[in-house]
């Protein structure tokens, strides 16, 4: 094997940091030459302002210099042509045109919509923390912030001010704490601009966020739905029929009546309501240690009871997350509680709920395996 062939083999082990595929497979290596141990090459970027350029330079240089016989590396960067970018899109999409991967019959990604009957119950905070908790357990996790009007996931995940890398009409989700994240907030011309979409346009926005993103292979996708029972809740059931719903509520009994509506609309469009989470639950008084219930008691149990009666099967109360000011401060600072204070009571409850959600074994019933029996 020639030295150039050895170098190419070494480069085949270098992955694009965002697409997670070998740079040789993506056609990013060009003009690879070697003379007397001096190596020169060009790495083609998908866009000129690629945010991963420094990391690529380090990974490529390290891989080449580790090959015996290499004395120096002269690395330059170029930009792909439109045809080359189209080829990258075909590779990462498996040769298929734009589509929603989670709606395909062969998808093994579990999609869970996090819903609530009204705002202010901590739904987005719960979504962010559940995602990070699942990632800590070794799963490939994504969050889609479908709360188009009140998007807060980027702040909760420490991604404010960042924009995803775009390859023509395809974009790469941002990543933090091992979770890939997509939000409408990332695409607005100005961060302070309000979103004033209605009806069919909302459906189209959700469809584009799901199909234009290159999610890679996810085990779990959490979708932070807007509060209430509006268009996007219905669109999720239409776009991803196998998606499931978890309802977030508070201990207040009155909140249970509102939370039930979120479960009811999911049931009407044939989505499986898999559980209830009670947020801002009872917590020990900082001064005396006695239990305190700022927002009442029993809302989670009542919501679980009502939804179980509605759907005809058990809709369990997955857990009660104790009221914790650190959950709020962590969100403001972009550090989810399960990352900032994993030993706290609230974080431990979230981790336990995540364990329940990820424990479900993946059934192959109804999944196309892409194989056919051989004829004798």
Q: Taking residues 6-21, report their average pLDDT.
A: 92
Residue 182 DSSP SS3: strand
pTM exceeding the 0.95 threshold for the entire prediction: no
Q: Which element (helix H / strand E) includes 318? A: strand 317-322
What are 129-178's pLDDT values in tens digits?
999 999 999 999 999 999 888 889 999 999 998 989 888 778 899 999 99
What are 189-236's pLDDT values in tens digits?
776 777 767 777 888 888 988 989 999 889 999 999 988 877 888 888
Q: Taking residues 282-295, report their average pLDDT.
A: 78
When comparing pLDDT for 104 and 350, which is higher?
350
Q: Taking residues 298-323, report their average pLDDT.
A: 93
DSSP state of 101: G
| Ranges of CATH 3.30.300.130 domains, the chain | 3-92
pLDDT at 374: 52
Task: Report the distance separating Cα 74 and Cα 300, nearest Å.
Answer: 62
* For residue 18, pLDDT beyond 70: yes
Q: Which residue in 286, 287, 237 sits closest to 264, CA to CA?
A: 237
Question: For residue 16, with 0-12 CB atoms within 10 Å meaning exposed, 13-18 middle and 19 or more buried, which class applies?
Answer: buried
Mean pLDDT, rounded, of the chain: 88
* For residue 367, pLDDT beyond 90: no
* For residue 2, pLDDT beyond 50: yes
Q: Taking residues 338-357, report their average pLDDT.
A: 95
* For residue 94, pLDDT beyond 90: no
Q: What whole-number percentage of the chain has pLDDT above 90?
A: 53
| CATH of 3-92 given 3.90.550.10, 1.10.10.10, 3.30.300.130, 3.40.50.2300 | 3.30.300.130
pLDDT at 288: 80
Highest mean pLDDT, choosing among 6-15, 255-264, 351-360: 6-15
* For residue 91, pLDDT beyond 60: yes
Task: Report the distance separating Cα 265 and Cα 252, nearest Å.
Answer: 21
Residue 196 DSSP SS3: coil
pLDDT at 95: 63
Q: What whole-number percentage of the chain has pLDDT above 70?
A: 93
| Ranges of CATH 3.40.50.300 domains, the chain | 102-359
Q: Taking residues 34-45, report their average pLDDT.
A: 94
* For residue 92, pLDDT beyond 90: no
When comparing pLDDT for 84 and 49, which is higher?
84
Question: How much of the chain is helix, strand and coil, in % rounded to 5?
Answer: 35, 20, 40
* Neighbouring C-beta atoms of residue 253, cutoff 10 Å: 15
Sign of CA dihedral 293, 342, 154, 265: negative
| CATH of 102-359 given 2.30.30.170, 3.90.1150.10, 3.90.78.10, 3.40.50.300 | 3.40.50.300
Q: How confident is the model at residue 43 (pLDDT cuts 50, 70, 90)?
A: very high
Task: Report the distance separating Cα 290 and Cα 369, nearest Å.
Answer: 55
């Amino acid at each position: 094997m020639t030295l150039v062939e050895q170098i190419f083999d070494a480069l085949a082990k270098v992955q694009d940091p965002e697409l997670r595929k070998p740079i040789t497979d993506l056609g990013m290596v060009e003009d690879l030459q070697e003379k007397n141990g001096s190596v020169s090459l060009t790495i083609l970027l998908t866009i000129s302002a690629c945010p991963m350029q420094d990391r690529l330079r380090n990974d490529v240089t390290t891989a080449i210099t580790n090959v015996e016989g290499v004395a120096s590396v002269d690395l330059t960067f170029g930009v792909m042509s439109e045809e080359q970018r189209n080829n990258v899109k075909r590779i990462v999409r498996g040769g298929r045109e734009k589509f929603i991967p989670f709606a395909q019959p062969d998808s093994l990604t579990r999609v869970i919509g996090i819903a609530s009957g009204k705002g202010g119950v901590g739904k987005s905070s719960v979504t962010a923390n559940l995602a990070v908790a699942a990632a800590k357990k070794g799963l490939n996790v994504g969050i889609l912030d479908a709360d188009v009007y009140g998007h807060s996931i980027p702040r909760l995940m420490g991604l404010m001010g960042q924009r995803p890398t775009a390859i023509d009409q395809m974009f790469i989700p941002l990543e933090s704490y091992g979770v890939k994240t997509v939000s409408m907030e990332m695409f607005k011309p100005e961060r302070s601009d309000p979103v004033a979409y209605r009806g069919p346009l909302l459906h189209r926005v959700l469809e584009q966020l799901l199909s234009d993103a290159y999610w890679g292979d996810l085990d779990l996708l959490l979708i932070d739905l807007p509060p209430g029972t509006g268009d996007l809740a219905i669109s999720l059931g239409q776009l991803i029929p196998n998606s499931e719903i978890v309802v977030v509520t508070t201990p207040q009994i009155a909140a249970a009546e509102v939370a039930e509506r979120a479960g009811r609309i999911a049931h009407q469009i044939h989505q499986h309501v898999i559980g209830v989470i009670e947020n801002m639950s009872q917590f020990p008084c900082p001064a005396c240690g006695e239990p305190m219930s700022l927002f009442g008691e029993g809302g989670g149990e009542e919501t679980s009871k009502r939804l179980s009666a509605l759907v005809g099967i058990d809709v369990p109360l997955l857990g009660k997350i104790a009221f914790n000011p650190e959950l709020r401060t962590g969100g403001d600072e972009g550090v989810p509680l399960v990352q900032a204070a994993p030993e706290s009571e609230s974080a431990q409850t979230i981790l336990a709920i995540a364990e329940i959600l990820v424990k479900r074994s993946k059934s192959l019933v109804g999944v196309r395996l892409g194989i056919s029996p051989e004829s004798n």
